[in-house]
Amino acid sequence: MNNQDNNTLIIKPKSSLLDINFKELWQYKDLLFLLVRRDFVSVYKQTILGPVWFFIQPLLTTATFTLVFSKMANISTDGIPAPLFYLIGVTFWSYFSTCLTGTSATFVNNAAVFGKVYFPRLIMPLSIVISSLFKLSIQFIMLLIGWIYYMITELSVFSNFTILLLPLYIILMAGLGLGFGIILSSVTTKYKDFSFLVGFGIQLLMYATPIIYPLSLIKNPKIVVLVSLNPMTGLIEGIKYGLTGHGIFDLGLLAYSLVFTIVLLFVGVIIFNKVEKSFIDTV
């Protein structure tokens, strides 16, 4: 009887929208790691160059941005060498956008699995965020090489103590990508139109983030306020400041991004919990 009791799984309906069983998430950690491995390996599994694409994509994007925005459009990079300026922005923006895009299709892409097997549904978007973190780690090595090169060759590039906040910046980016993603995933189960707007919306949001231009380039106070309302602005500017000594480090912007992320995740989990009860009828 004891063995039978130990092998019995009791699935109960959630008592409230805030009912998040973190213990249960931990119990399914093996599934989480399996999904992380699947997400990481499957991306370039049938390609010739494989993981080399992790390096090629940001390098090509950086080269394009340097040519178009720095050389042709002559947009200032605020004292940072143009290739390093764009490589920093591209590397970290890629992580955020990958998290958002991947998690935004959680319900639609996994409807068949969700309808047959029980496990905490948050495992799926969490696996995407974590697997994308491995991709970021690989690309960050390339960024470090470029950063060290310019640290040696350019006197204008120097790091400072705020570089210690880098793990916090990455966690907040992951939280923003996860929060926006699970909200969009929940909405697209009923309104499929939103799935077509995700890619377009991410592109627009990138131009509203200091990726191809520094925040200091904006002289209109009203536009500065609008751009600062983007929670990614303070994070990108903070990373650039920590790595190069140039840019804007503002504790107010960092606090805003932190509060925004917490609220976004809170709202996102509520909506996610509500939709997961009946999404299978609408997908």
- A 10 A CB-CB count for 52 gives 11
**21 within domain boundaries:** no
- Domain annotation covers residue 66: yes
- Confidence (pLDDT) at 40: 74
8 inside domain: no
In a domain, 7, yes or no: no
Helices and strands (DSSP H and E) totals, the chain: 13, 0
Total domains, the chain: 1
Asked if residue 15 belongs to a domain, the reply is no
The residue count for the chain: 283
Residues in contact with 211: Cβ distance below 8 Å, sequence separation at least 6, in sequence order: 86, 89, 90, 93, 236
Mind listing the pLDDT tens digit for each residue in 104-132? 888 777 777 776 777 778 888 999 999 99
Distance of alpha carbon 82 from alpha carbon 153, whole angstroms: 14
In a domain, residue 10? The reply is: no
Q: Indicate the angle between helix axes 166-188 and 82-103, nearest 10 degrees.
A: 40
Burial of 209 (0-12, 13-18, 19+ CB in 10 A): buried
Any domain includes 12: no
| Three-point CA angle 269, 24, 102, nearest 5° | 45
State pLDDT tens for residues 152-186.
988 788 889 999 999 999 999 999 999 999 998 88
Q: State pTM to two decimals.
A: 0.86
68, part of any domain: yes
| Domain encompassing residue 191 | 52-281
